[in-house]
Amino acid sequence: MLEVRDLRAGYAAGEVLHGLTFSVPPGSIVSLVGANGAGKSTTLKAVSGLLPPREGSIVVDGRTLPGGSAQVAVKAGLAHVPEGRQVFSNMSVADNLSLGSYATRRVGEPVPRRLESVLELFPELAGRLNEYAGSLSGGQQQMLAIGRSLMARPTLLLLDEPSLGLAPIVVDPIFELLKRLRGEGTTNLLVEQNVHRALEIADRAYVLASGRVESEGAAAMLRASAEIEKAYLGIGVSE
Ligand code: ATP
C-alpha cells in the first residue's frame, strides 16, 4: 500500500508538484495520466527517493519514508523502473539483473532464486545473460529494466512509461506481465503516455495537470469520460 499526502517537490527552477495526494491499494494497478509536463515522472522520482520532497509524506505499508533516499525506499519494498529503461548498455544482462538485487541481497529470498523467477517471467533474457544489455532490442531492454527492478523483490513497483517507443506487439507482453504481477500481489503505480492502455489495465487512475490532481476515479469511469479526455489528457483515449 502506498499513501502519498500533500507531496510538494521540484527542481532548482521551481516547484513542480503542488501538493499531491493519492494512494495505491495493495495488489492493484493505479495509473497517473496527464499531458506532457504535468509532473508524472517527477512524482515517481519523489516517491522512489531520487528527488527529495519539499513537503508531504510518503507512506509504504504503514511506514513513513524519510524522503530523498532511494536506498531506504528500496529496502521498504519499492522499486522504480525509470523512463527510457536506463539499462547499463556496456554491462552484461546478468550484471544488470544482479545490480537490481544489491540493496536487498542480504534479506529475504536468496539472489539465485530471484534470478530464476525473473528468467521464468522473461525467458527471452535467459539465453542472453552474457550479452551486453546494449545489444538487446528496445522491448528486451524494457523487460531487462523491469527484471532488474524485480530482482529487489519489491512489493511496490513504480513504472515510468514502459511502452514508450515500443511497437504494440512488444508492448502486449509487458502489460500482460503487469497483470500477472498484480495477480501475485504486487502493488503497481504506472505512468503511461498511452492513456488508452493505461486506463484499460488500471484499477484506478489519477489525472494530473500542472502538478495537481485534477481528477481521480475508477479507471473505467475515467475512460468513459470524454470531458476528462478533452480537458486534461490532451489526446484521444481510443487508439
Ligand atoms: P512527460 O510525459 O513529458 O515526461 P511528465 O508529466 O512526466 O511529462 P515531468 O517529467 O515530471 O512531467 O516534468 C514536470 C515539469 O518538471 C516539467 O515542466 C519539466 O520541464 C520539469 N522538469 C522535469 N525534470 C526536470 C529537471 N531534471 N530539472 C528541471 N526541471 C525538470
Q: What is the DSSP letter of 132?
A: B
Which alpha helices (H) appear in 12-92, and where do they start and end? 40-47, 70-75
**Beta-bridge mates of residue 14:** 11
Q: What span, in angstroms and rounded, lies between the C-alpha atoms of 50 and 73?
A: 9
Sign of dihedral through CA atoms 177, 181, 182, 186?
Answer: negative
On whether the CB atoms of residues 114 and 103 are closer than 8 A, the answer is no
Residue 129 phi/psi, 5° resolution? -55, -35
Contact yes or no for 85/163 (Cβ under 8 A): no
Q: What is the pLDDT along the chain (239 residues), one digit of tens a residue?
A: 999 999 999 999 899 999 999 999 999 999 999 988 999 999 999 999 999 999 999 999 999 999 889 999 999 999 999 988 899 999 999 999 999 998 888 888 899 999 999 999 999 999 999 999 999 999 999 999 999 999 999 999 999 999 988 888 888 889 999 999 999 999 999 999 888 889 999 999 999 999 999 999 999 888 887 555 655 555 544 44
Q: Which cell numbers hold the place of 164?
A: 514508450
Cα–Cα distance between 24 and 226 in angstroms, integer?
A: 24
Q: Whose CA is nearest to atom 26 of ligand 1?
A: 11
Span from the CA of 155 to the centroid of ligand 1 (angstroms): 26
Cα separation values, 23 from 2, 86, 150, Å: 5, 27, 21
Report whether residue 48 contacts ligand 1, using a CB cutoff of 6 Å. no
* Cβ of residue 215 lying under 6 Å from some atom of ligand 1: no
Q: pTM here?
A: 0.91
Distance in Å, CA 11 to ligand 1 centroid = 9
Residues 17 and 51: beta-carbon distance below 8 Å: no
156 contact partners, CB below 8 Å, separation of at least 6: 2, 24, 60, 77, 78, 79, 186, 187, 188, 189
| Of 218, 213, 162, the residue nearest 232 (C-alpha) | 213
